[in-house]
Structure 1
């Protein structure tokens, strides 16, 4: 966890991927993988008195080896647990000149919660520190 001088920035989410991960490499050769995670939260009751839920979408980024593993093994609909830290970016839009903001989770660890796919070598959990062979 990131505990620095009495502060903590730690996020854990369990949800499903809304689409396949998107992988890219920076000019330095560093791998980066992005995906969106859907999580549900209670939102009162529907007309029949059943518990209603709303879906929140969270942007997730994984880097380096973790990015490569996520890109290889994750697919739309897979259920995962992501542990990481909350990050905020801001930039000035070149077209409008307005400041834009983006909040996302920088993944440190990803646990695959669905049953293992047909690939016998697919890991069930990966983190930035591990070197899991393909």
Structure 2
């Protein structure tokens, strides 16, 4: 029987990406995303959502691009695979977590929420002008 390990998510970054490099020069970016899922309504009729927090790791040029263009709050679509990682912390305790290893992504917002786009206004047409159609 075949196996499949593929994750597709859309979410907002929960922190700025952290970029570091291996001794061989390979870029590694780590960041987290929050994914909101509607789960119905409460007693007052307000929508309820469930938020899932996921850690993501990207490698190579993808890592560098993400670190350069995305910030906390940026919206991203990502595809990857789920990985279970274990390690021993500084106190000697065994730790573990699931994370997504990024395969593909798309920016869904290029500006952070605190940045504003320039207002471009077009002059209003004169009322006396004839419309050419």
TM-score of the superposed pair, with normalisation by structure 1 = 0.76
Higher strand share: 1
1:21 aligns to 2:17 (yes or no): yes
- Give the secondary-structure state (helix, strand or coil) at the position aligned to 2:63: helix
1:8 aligns to 2:37 (yes or no): no
Structure-2 change in CA distance of 1:88 and 1:24 (3 Å): same
Equivalenced residue count is: 113
Query: Match of 1:87?
Result: 83
Structure 2 unaligned runs (5+)? 118-133
The one of 93, 101, 123 equivalent to 2:96 is: 101
- Give the secondary-structure state (helix, strand or coil) at the position aligned to 1:8: coil
Structure 1 unaligned runs (5+)? 119-134
- Give the secondary-structure state (helix, strand or coil) at the position aligned to 1:14: strand
Partner deviation per Cα, 1:33-67 (whole Å, 9 max, x = no partner): 01111101233422312220021111011101110
The one of 96, 102, 114 equivalent to 2:109 is: 114
1:72 aligns to 2:68 (yes or no): yes
TM-score of the superposed pair, with normalisation by structure 2 = 0.77
Partner deviation per Cα, 1:74-107 (whole Å, 9 max, x = no partner): 1111111010100111112341x33210211000
1-side partners of 2:49 and 2:57: how far apart? 25
Structure-2 change in CA distance of 1:116 and 1:98 (3 Å): closer
| C-alpha RMSD of matched pairs (Å) | 1.9
2-side partners of 1:89 and 1:83: how far apart? 19
